[in-house]
Amino acid sequence: MPPDHIARRVLTERARRVLTRRVSPPPVPSARRAGQLRPPPAPPVRPRILLARRRVPEAAGRGTRLTLAVAVIAALAWLPTEAASAAVTRPAVLTAPAARAAPGGQAPAQAAAAIPPPRHHGRLVVTGQLRDGGRVSATGLSWRPGRLPPGYRLLSFGVAYQWQACDRHARHCVTAADSTATPFAARHYLVGHQDAGRRLRVTETAAEVVETDPATFAFKVVRASVSHVSGATVRSYPASKPPATEFVNGTPEARTGSAEEYFQVNPPHFNSAQGAPVQRYRIDHGPWRPLPGSRVFYTGKLRLGHHVVQVRTANRAGATITRFGWRVVPLPAPLACRPQRERPCWYPPHLDSHHHPMRWDWQIGRVTPLQRTGASAVDIYDIDGFLTTPAEIRAIRTRWQASTLAHPRTICYIDLAWEDYRPDGSPSPYGRYFPAATLGNVYFGFPQERWVDFRQLDALKPMLDERLAMCARKGFDAVELDDIDSFDPPSTTGFHLTPGDAQNYLAYAFNAIHKLGMTGLWKNSPLLSWWGRRYADGSVVEECYRYHQCFASSLRGSRQYGITCTSLAGRTPCGWDDFTTDRTKHQPTGKWVGEAEYAQDHYVCNPGQHCSHKKNFSTFCRLVYAPPYGYSAVKFNVNLDGSMFYPCPKGT
């Protein structure tokens, strides 16, 4: 992504972060509290912050920076659709100007045209019951990637679906009434009440992400679309049939460690002559309550054991009840790191041998790591898990200069969101690691990425296990897990996740890291840091100085999602000094925390610049780095490509 877009995202998103919100929302009610149970308010979808961690690597090998040759656009960036009842194919090769020139740089436009678009066979049609409440399907087409030129590599391939409701002439179309948050799983569609009297249009879009130059990780997104409009209009719901509804956008697995859930149902299916339905919901044996207008309801905190939610939909034609049952089980206990035969566990210490926060460098925006030497040498490199090779890891750990260690240690950066440019990114049925139903909303500002439904832990374990095993095989010492805060806010992902859903997923993830002989790093998410320190061995945090939220004392008294932030000595401190002050057998000086500030925020000045007191680099270091519980604080360029590196205390 070009740096100017990234910078805008830094400045606009961070201000909306929950961290900066000092006004507490209404408290989260208990499921057993008397009176009406209301879910915590679900904030509107808002941009996310802490964006530098969302990096498509932008650095080339062997000391030069990479120029991306493509706009990494989501597989569901729908192309304009024509109003036609016949199938129409629209191939597209998507490219974008480079961020800056680099050897090998942007691929010429004619080279992009040489990549053939995805190919389809057959004729797209809509089959099934074309009426309110009926199930229809997009059928007749099969897709495969185009034949790639020599030297090119297919990174991922997927097919997404969009359903629209159109007027009788198919000139004006809107999103179909019961569309869901999972476009890759939308081959089948449950016709909505508001679709009645309209024609349905379905568009299949196949996208292939093709690597054109492995040395610079240049790649292109090529897609083709086919659309079809149904010949008949959607019929009304049967007059004699009771109204009905269904759970949508995911449910918990049969067994989960999460003690709280959101549930969502779609708008009711009904015949208008029988009157608008009344919908109520019930949790276990509790009272029936009116369903919120959003059709999303919250369970409150649940005890261990079996639970059932029910939604009753009724009008003059009768009533139906939709049920879902699952079991809440204890979260797994934290597992200690298990040393491997080839290497012992390395626990990142808060302080180095000189009693200063251990220095690090964050280069997840590079293809090949850049060595820091002399006064700029570091003890920890946080680098991309996919692009960094085993040979490069060996070189760092055996030959590179370190600041206080014999040689530096390495952290494997892994994103828990879906990225279409990763080699395991093909959604099912074209790949085996990302089930289509687990891929939700686009990550704001990064349309090549989507949020993942953490509730589907069993379905996502193969992906997570393989990624972590890759880090271990390459010889990394630790793992940084990104995008762990998908519950904040619940509406972000399209799945309405809770802190409990994140805890259930992350408890498994950190234990899996430890089983492989590596240590794990928490990422941002201060609302659960008090819990995360039990499982994680350190943390990475972004822009806490810019937004005055570095330590637990800054957030004390804040309340969100049923979590009340306490002081550091309390039960639930929300900050990262609960890591640096967590002294253990393996980390007697505390757990390491790396902190990043960004030039694009225009807040922390460069060393030697004369700025207002709080913006002075020396003030930044005195407040974030120098305290006994301080962090390894560095000012970076937001691209994290090695072009800026000003570590505390002096900038070298």
Tell me the pLDDT band of 299, cut-offs 50, 70 and 90.
Answer: very high
Task: Examine the pLDDT at 395 and tell me if it is beyond 60.
Answer: yes
For 360-416+454-647, CATH number out of 3.20.20.70, 3.30.365.10, 3.40.50.450, 3.30.43.10 equals 3.20.20.70
Given a contact cutoff of 8 angstroms between Cβ atoms, the answer to whether 478 and 379 are in contact is no
What strands, in cross-sheet order, belong to the sheet with 645-647?
360-363, 380-384, 409-415, 478-482, 519-523, 538-542, 592-598, 632-636, 645-647
* Cβ count within 10 A of residue 59: 28
Q: Which residues contact 49 (CB under 8 A, 6 or more apart)?
A: 10, 13, 14, 16, 17, 542, 543
Stretch 158-167: mean pLDDT: 98
d(CA 444, CA 422) in angstroms, rounded, equals: 18
| Weakest-pLDDT range from 105-109, 607-611, 613-617 | 105-109
Higher pLDDT, 441 or 76: 441
d(CA 234, CA 410) in angstroms, rounded, equals: 58
Angle, helices 499-515 vs 457-474, to 10°: value is: 40
Hey, is 288 helix, strand or coil? coil
Tell me the pLDDT band of 59, cut-offs 50, 70 and 90.
Answer: very low
Chain position carrying tokens 């995202």: 9
Which residue ranges make up each domain of the chain?
42-229, 255-328, 360-416+454-647
Task: Examine the pLDDT at 102 and tell me if it is beyond 70.
Answer: no
Query: Would you list the DSSP string of 550-613?
Result: SSHHHHTT-EETTEE-B-TTSSSB-SSHHHHT---SS-TT-BEEEEEEEGGGT-SPPTT----G
Query: Would you list the DSSP string of 334-350?
Result: PPPP--BTTB-----BS
Task: Examine the pLDDT at 385 and tell me if it is beyond 90.
Answer: yes
pLDDT computed for residue 447 by the predictor: 86
Single out the residue of 136, 261, 251, 260 nearest to residue 192, CA to CA: 136
pLDDT computed for residue 252 by the predictor: 97
Q: Report the greatest alpha carbon distance in the chain.
A: 81
d(CA 323, CA 247) in angstroms, rounded, equals: 9
pLDDT computed for residue 97 by the predictor: 29
Higher pLDDT, 98 or 290: 290
For residue range 232-258, list pLDDT tens digits in order. Answer: 999 999 999 999 999 999 999 999 999
Single out the residue of 184, 163, 176 nearest to residue 74, CA to CA: 184
**Which class for 434: exposed (0-12), middle (13-18), buried (19 or more C-beta within 10 A)?**
buried
pLDDT computed for residue 275 by the predictor: 97
583 token code pair:
């002294």
% of the chain exceeding 90 in pLDDT:
79
Angle, helices 457-474 vs 390-398, to 10°: value is: 50
| Weakest-pLDDT range from 89-93, 151-155, 210-214, 265-269 | 89-93
Stretch 434-447: mean pLDDT: 93
Architecture (CATH level 2) of domain 255-328: Sandwich (2.60)
Which run of H or of E encompasses 6? helix 3-13
d(CA 62, CA 515) in angstroms, rounded, equals: 33
Stretch 279-299: mean pLDDT: 97
What strands, in cross-sheet order, belong to the sheet with 135-144?
119-128, 135-144, 188-190
d(CA 285, CA 35) in angstroms, rounded, equals: 14
3-state per-residue secondary structure call for 233-248 = CCECCCCCCCCECCEC
For residue range 21-45, list pLDDT tens digits in order. Answer: 222 222 222 222 222 223 333 333 3
425 token code pair:
């990114």
φ/ψ of 587, rounded to 5, equals: -135, 75
Tell me the pLDDT band of 533, cut-offs 50, 70 and 90.
Answer: very high
pLDDT computed for residue 92 by the predictor: 57
d(CA 511, CA 518) in angstroms, rounded, equals: 10
Task: Examine the pLDDT at 55 and tell me if it is beyond 60.
Answer: no
Task: Examine the pLDDT at 145 and tell me if it is beyond 80.
Answer: yes
d(CA 325, CA 336) in angstroms, rounded, equals: 33
pLDDT computed for residue 345 by the predictor: 97
φ/ψ of 320, rounded to 5, equals: -130, 155
Stretch 184-195: mean pLDDT: 97
DSSP E strands, 12-77: none
d(CA 495, CA 506) in angstroms, rounded, equals: 17
% of the chain exceeding 70 in pLDDT:
83
DSSP classification of residue 223: E
Peptide bond connecting 292 to the previous residue in cis, omega within 30 degrees of 0 = no
d(CA 596, CA 537) in angstroms, rounded, equals: 18
pLDDT computed for residue 612 by the predictor: 86
d(CA 142, CA 118) in angstroms, rounded, equals: 10
Chain position carrying tokens 């390894």: 632
pLDDT computed for residue 478 by the predictor: 98
Tell me the pLDDT band of 450, cut-offs 50, 70 and 90.
Answer: very high
333 token code pair:
């206990």
Average pLDDT of the residues of the chain: 86
For residue range 348-366, list pLDDT tens digits in order. Answer: 999 999 999 999 999 999 9
d(CA 558, CA 22) in angstroms, rounded, equals: 6
